[in-house]
A and B are shown apart, each in its own frame.
Chain A
Amino acid sequence: MAMPIIMLEEEDPIYGDMLEETLSRVPLIDLIPTLRVSKSWNQAVHSSLLSRNPPKPWLIIHSQATRHPYAATTRAYDPRSRVWIKMSQPASIIRHATALRSSNSNFLYMLSPSKLSFSFDKLNLRWHHVDAPLLWRGDPIVTKVGDSIVVAGGTCDFEDDPLAVEIYSIKNRSWRTCDSMPARLKDSAASTWLSVAATPEKLFVMEKHSGATYWFDLDSNDWSKQFDLRPDQRCFYSVIGCVKERLILVGLIGDVENVEKVKVWEVGYDSNSGSFDRCMEIGEMPRLFVEKLESETFGISSINICLAGSFVYIYNPEKVEEVVACELIKGGGCNWGSVHNAVSGGGCGMERVVFTCADVKVEQLERALRAENRRFEVVNV
């Protein structure tokens, strides 16, 4: 802003640099109407989003009541403008009869003995309903890998094989069974103990407490051998996630009673050799934010992450009021920030809170909002 602007012969009172600078301060939701104001404004919006204040991934919080009719509300946090957005949909879209769960950053699902409902679009606006897999189990891993939904493991008392894997092809609308999970995971095959990440071809599964990691290839239906991903010997708990083909690992260092550090690594995966070749530390969470994650009673016994774009949101499921955001910088390193979740939680067990994360563009928002009765509005928190 050091150079004086060149005065153009324009009729609009506000234009050029000034218009772009102003638009960079307008929340993404409110930029949607500005796209249609005039041609110069349309250009200014795109230019402003490209260079002055690009969109940043939203943190989306789905709160589901734990009592009938299990109504769910969705709020999103837009870090670009630091505002909260209430996302309302007509109630008939989805009837929540079972517990809402999420995996792999923007995959939402509900599994009951008869039905599997899932949603994988960025804002989880469209739901699909299919028959449940053949084998019923409690709390399996459910996630989308490429064009398929993988349901694996789970806890079950009576079935022979708690490590069964079933895959649903979205295109063919059919289920198939394949090789069971590695035997080592027999006692920890539920989503409580396992963290998943997925690229279009592979599913990565990590045991949170031990760091034992396996990958599953959908084309060859093979499970890999065990890898021990423990970049730091003092790491007692870790989770993985995948964003833009990068595998990110977040680990707690210390012990359950006293978490000393929270670190973020990038795990290099070599698809030729099928193994992990390196763990590069990206950054360490500042002490101030580690303390935000600590709940009064349990400290930090577990964490979960969701990732999109260049953001990794880290939260403690026991304390949903605080979420720490890690913004990955191109070329290495990261910036840390925190989000105070004022719209849900409360900790009295009346609500189930599920996090997802999405890299939303303004044109996608515009299209999503064309549906009647769908409203996104900025809330004053």
Chain B
Amino acid sequence: MLYAIFGVQTFLQRDLELRNLSLFNRRKGFSYLFQKSLLFPFSISFFLSQGFIYLFLLSSRKSSSPAAIMSSSSPKMITLQSSDGETFEVEEAVAMESRTIKHMIEDDCANSSIPIPNVTSNTLTKVIEYCKKHVEAKSDEEGLKSFDAEFMKIDKDTLYDLLMASNYLDIKSLLDLGCQTVADKIKGKNPEEIRKEFGIKNDFTPEEEEEIRKESPWVFD
């Protein structure tokens, strides 16, 4: 708006100056000086009034902004940007499920979009889906439980990405859920099955394995 004011201001001044020039060209002398002397305070007062109007609007905007939000009933939106450049608009309450983002908002670093460099758009979509549900259905324990169970029916890679994302974004409930799901995959398996499940290479030599066996203390001690 300020720019608009300035734009109009400049235009008017230009216009006046042009007129001055033409006046000057046409009629030099006292009448020109008279015109100029009138124009000068006029432009100053015009500029000052614009300034006052701007300051007034600024202060009224600040003081009435919550009222403006409440009366307009549209929640504040936060923009998140994934590592591959995609942007997501989420409600502030949903974004605040992440402690990392919450701190950023509180420290006032979240005015433009927040970059999430470690998280791809696919993972971020899932994270937002989780946070949204947990904000919406906060008091419905049964509903959340069944949602969580369904939510965890994902392939391994998505699960690990989700785990890393929830750690970076510091979303405790999603972290707990993810870790518990992975822990359940470990239970009841022997070492070879665990390696297969997680794609891990066995870097123990047979001698090293034997060392470990020998060093285990007896439960009889």
| CB contact list, A245-264 vs B, under 8 A | none
For B172, the chain A residues whose CB sits under 8 A away are 1
Partner of A36, one of B99, B198, B212: B212
Compute how far the CA of A230 lies from the CA of B99 in the bound complex, rounded to whole angstroms: 52
* Selected interface stretch from B27-35, B122-130, B156-164: B156-164
Can you spell out 20 A-B residue pairs with CB atoms less than 8 angstroms apart? A1-B167, A1-B175, A2-B170, A11-B201, A12-B200, A13-B157, A13-B160, A18-B163, A22-B182, A22-B183, A33-B189, A33-B190, A37-B191, A38-B202, A38-B203, A38-B204, A122-B219, A125-B220, A363-B215, A364-B217
Compute how far the CA of A40 lies from the CA of B221 in the bound complex, rounded to whole angstroms: 28
Q: Which of B164, B195, B201 has the most CB of A within 10 A?
A: B164
For A5, the chain B residues whose CB sits under 8 A away are 164, 167-168
- CB of A27 within 8 Å of the partner chain: yes
Chain A to chain B: the 3 pairs with minimum beta-carbon distance, closest first: A25-B183, A364-B219, A121-B220
From known contacts A17-B167, A33-B190, A39-B204, infer whether A12 and B217 are also in contact, taking CB-CB under 8 Å: no
For A12, the chain B residues whose CB sits under 8 A away are 198-200
Minimal Cβ-Cβ distance residue in A for B187: A30
- CB of B25 within 8 Å of the partner chain: no
Q: Could you tell me the dominant secondary structure of chain B's interface residues?
A: helix
Are the CB atoms of B201 and A4 closer together than 8 Å? no
- CB of A35 within 8 Å of the partner chain: yes
From known contacts A26-B186, A33-B194, A125-B219, infer whether A14 and B204 are also in contact, taking CB-CB under 8 Å: no
Compute how far the CA of A54 lies from the CA of B218 in the bound complex, rounded to whole angstroms: 19
Compute how far the CA of A13 lies from the CA of B185 in the bound complex, rounded to whole angstroms: 14
Given contacts A18-B163, A22-B179, A122-B220, 15 further A-B contacts (CB under 8 A): A2-B100, A12-B199, A12-B200, A17-B167, A25-B180, A30-B187, A30-B189, A36-B191, A36-B204, A37-B194, A38-B201, A42-B212, A121-B219, A364-B218, A366-B216
For A4, the chain B residues whose CB sits under 8 A away are 100, 118, 167-168
Are the CB atoms of B220 and A126 closer together than 8 Å? yes
For A361, the chain B residues whose CB sits under 8 A away are 217
**What is the number of residues of chain A that contact chain B, defined by CB distance less than 8 Å?**
43
Are the CB atoms of A360 and B191 closer together than 8 Å? no
Bitwise, B78-114 to A at CB < 8 A (1) or not (0) is 0000000000000000000001100000000000000
Compute how far the CA of A5 lies from the CA of B169 in the bound complex, rounded to whole angstroms: 10
| CB contact list, A1-53 vs B, under 8 A | 1-2, 4-5, 7, 11-14, 17-18, 21-27, 30, 33-42
Minimal Cβ-Cβ distance residue in B for A21: B179
- CB of A365 within 8 Å of the partner chain: yes
For B183, the chain A residues whose CB sits under 8 A away are 22-23, 25-26
Are the CB atoms of B167 and A18 closer together than 8 Å? yes
On A, residues with C-beta under 8 Å from B are 1-2, 4-5, 7, 11-14, 17-18, 21-27, 30, 33-42, 121-123, 125-126, 360-361, 363-368, 378
- CB of B188 within 8 Å of the partner chain: yes
* Nearest Cβ on chain A to B184's Cβ, whole angstroms: 8
Are the CB atoms of A14 and B168 closer together than 8 Å? no
Are the CB atoms of A33 and B191 closer together than 8 Å? yes
Are the CB atoms of B163 and A7 closer together than 8 Å? no
Are the CB atoms of B179 and A36 closer together than 8 Å? no
- CB of B209 within 8 Å of the partner chain: yes
Compute how far the CA of A14 lies from the CA of B181 in the bound complex, rounded to whole angstroms: 13
* Nearest Cβ on chain B to A36's Cβ, whole angstroms: 4
Q: Which of A7, A24, A33 has the most CB of B within 10 A?
A: A33
Compute how far the CA of A26 lies from the CA of B184 in the bound complex, rounded to whole angstroms: 7
Compute how far the CA of A190 lies from the CA of B195 in the bound complex, rounded to whole angstroms: 55
Are the CB atoms of A26 and B170 closer together than 8 Å? no
Bitwise, B6-37 to A at CB < 8 A (1) or not (0) is 00000000000000000000000000000000
Minimal Cβ-Cβ distance residue in B for A378: B187
For A23, the chain B residues whose CB sits under 8 A away are 183, 186
* Nearest Cβ on chain B to A85's Cβ, whole angstroms: 12
* Nearest Cβ on chain A to B197's Cβ, whole angstroms: 10
Compute how far the CA of A173 lies from the CA of B201 in the bound complex, rounded to whole angstroms: 50
Are the CB atoms of A39 and B203 closer together than 8 Å? yes
Minimal Cβ-Cβ distance residue in A for B199: A13
Compute how far the CA of A358 lies from the CA of B202 in the bound complex, rounded to whole angstroms: 33
